[in-house]
Structure 1
Amino acid sequence: MGNSPDGKAPDDANPPEDVNSPEEERPSIGRTLQQARIAAKLTIDEVSGATRVRIPIVHAIEQDDFSRCGGDVYARGHIRMIAQKVGLDAEPLIERFDAEHGGRPAPTPAAPLFEAERIRPERRRPNWTAAMVAAIVAVAGFVGFTAFSGGDGDGKTKPVAEGPKPEKTNVKPSATKTADPKPDPSDSAIAAAPRDKVTVKLSATDDKSWISAKAHNGKLLFDGLLLKGDSKTFQDDDQIDLILGNAGAIDLFVNGKKVEDEFETGQVERLSYTKGDPEVG
């Protein structure tokens, strides 16, 4: 076998092509987001301020460390918001994340929790109005009886001739009962929201929306699909964190007051509320 003109063997002159596939050469999720951010001339602080994802979490995601996100559900939401901010299509990144982390979990039914929330406002309380009416009727009856039985005396019982006035209360129980205030049925789930807690109500009015709700201690309250026409109510002592997958389809009430933010259809929002809100977290 002869040598090539430059003195190298044929195999050395023509080295084998790189066998790495484009898939293997493709940068990681974090690297892709970092490169897009740099290309968009954005700092981590600017991305954090626009997406409400904390700076340490943005930095960790760019290093492909998703452990600080608080779970796969929050990691998907963070990836989606950061990708939108730096000008990327989020769906391929979400699909790649699911493939690398075992896929998207099935929605967690939360019927027992919301049954408890619906039952809580309906607990019966002592009917003080009925007790007061009964007491008034008893007093009126006693006064009327005293006036009637003393009518044959020497006239000293005349002052009790006013007895028939309270006796009129016998015909007023129904009017007194109707005066019992009732909550506005439109917001009955949160109209009496306690001041020492934070209460959040979500209603899917225009379309379905995926939502996630988390308590202040990190406990996942709900992760699933809210269908059009459905409502969910959450309550916590200190704070409730939300991710809305289709924020434009949701009517949001916080501590009995509607939040008037103009969310767009298909927009992903990450929100936090406390006892002092409504204010977007």
Structure 2
Amino acid sequence: MSIGNSPEADRPSVGAALQKARIGAGLTVEEVSTTTRVRIPIVHAIEQDDFSRCGGDVYARGHIRALARAVSLDPRPLIDQFDAEHGGRPAPTPAAPLFEAERIRSEPRRPNWTAAMVAAIVAVVGFVGFTLFTGGGKSGGGPVAAGDANAKPAPAPTRHPSTIKPPLKPEPSDSAVAGLPKDKVTIKVTARDGQSWISAKDANGKLLEDGLLKKGESKTITDKERIDLVLGNAGAVQLYVNGKEVKRVGNKGTVERLSYTRGDPQAG
């Protein structure tokens, strides 16, 4: 007596399902790579069910989600199948063993000398005016005599417009962009609306940063040529590249792969 194959045995693998959907949609690997920002060798590897080049299960799930959406597939069954074949989804890893994230420190408040000088000038002018007013009332020859109730105060002397000097305009301060080194790529990542996984490599593939960024924490990364950045939960991240804010990084829960050089971004 023979037993038929189960539905699970007939179900295609994750990579085969993605490849079949891509071919059915009439898309090339290059077109899918451009849409998802997943590199071409990684797309080929995933379609062969080789997830070793993804950099870990967290990033593999993000790549599967991005590729499935690009070929109009529901990513949830594919991710569930991936978890079932790779031991399930692991518990979140604490951030402390991975790296000590750089926290934003507020600058100490400096004394407001301008306000103090203005207050001192106002006090001196008030004292002089009070002295002149009281001295003129005692002499009896001032504009307001003690016995003359109908006397009107003398009009204030007018000044010719040519003698009035316009207020000095403050010199513009150097911007934060001008303070950054021109010969390096500088990226600052802040987990503004929730925690995020970040991974950064240089142009040669050397790992610069890798770990979990908790909500409210930030990390600054620099390199001489290029930084290849992977962001998990990209919608919760605030990203500055060379001093300019990237307005839209991605959606919450998605993984974004970005690459920046010294001239980026073209529009902050």
TM-score (norm 1): 0.58
Structure number with higher relative contact order (C-alpha < 8 Å, ≥ 6 residues apart): 2
1:224 paired to 2:212: yes
Residue 196 of structure 1 aligns to which amino acid in structure 2? D
Which of 72, 76, 82 is residue 67 of structure 2 equivalent to?
Answer: 82
How far off is 1:183 after superposition?
7.8
* Mapping of residues 1-281 of structure 1, within 5 Å: 16-18=2-4, 20-102=5-87, 103-104=89-90, 106-107=92-93, 108-109=95-96, 110-112=98-100, 114=102, 192-205=179-192, 207-216=193-202, 217-219=205-207, 221-227=209-215, 229-261=216-248, 263-278=250-265
Q: 1:97 to 1:279 in 2, by over 3 A?
A: farther
Q: 1:27 to 1:47 in 2, by over 3 A?
A: same
Q: Secondary structure at the match of 1:201?
A: strand
How far off is 1:262 after superposition?
6.6
Check conservation: 1:211, 1:242, Cα contact below 8 A. Answer: no
Q: 1:202 to 1:94 in 2, by over 3 A?
A: same
Partner of 1:140: none
Check conservation: 2:242, 2:264, Cα contact below 8 A. Answer: yes
Structure 2: state its 5+ residue gaps: 108-171
How far off is 1:209 after superposition?
4.3
Q: 1:51 to 1:27 in 2, by over 3 A?
A: same
Distance of 1:266 and 1:74 partners within structure 2: 12
Structure 1: state its 5+ residue gaps: 1-14, 123-180
RMSD (CA atoms): 3.3
Residue 256 of structure 1 aligns to which amino acid in structure 2? G
Q: 1:99 to 1:198 in 2, by over 3 A?
A: farther
How far off is 1:49 after superposition?
1.3
Bigger fraction of residues in helix: 1
Distance of 1:233 and 1:40 partners within structure 2: 40
Check conservation: 1:198, 1:273, Cα contact below 8 A. Answer: yes
Distance of 1:239 and 1:74 partners within structure 2: 21
- Following TM superposition, the consecutive aligned residue runs of length 4 or more in structure 1 with deviations greater than 4 angstroms are 181-184
Residue 245 of structure 1 aligns to which amino acid in structure 2? G
Check conservation: 1:210, 1:244, Cα contact below 8 A. Answer: yes
How far off is 1:266 after superposition?
4.2
Q: 1:209 to 1:38 in 2, by over 3 A?
A: farther
Distance of 1:79 and 1:220 partners within structure 2: 24
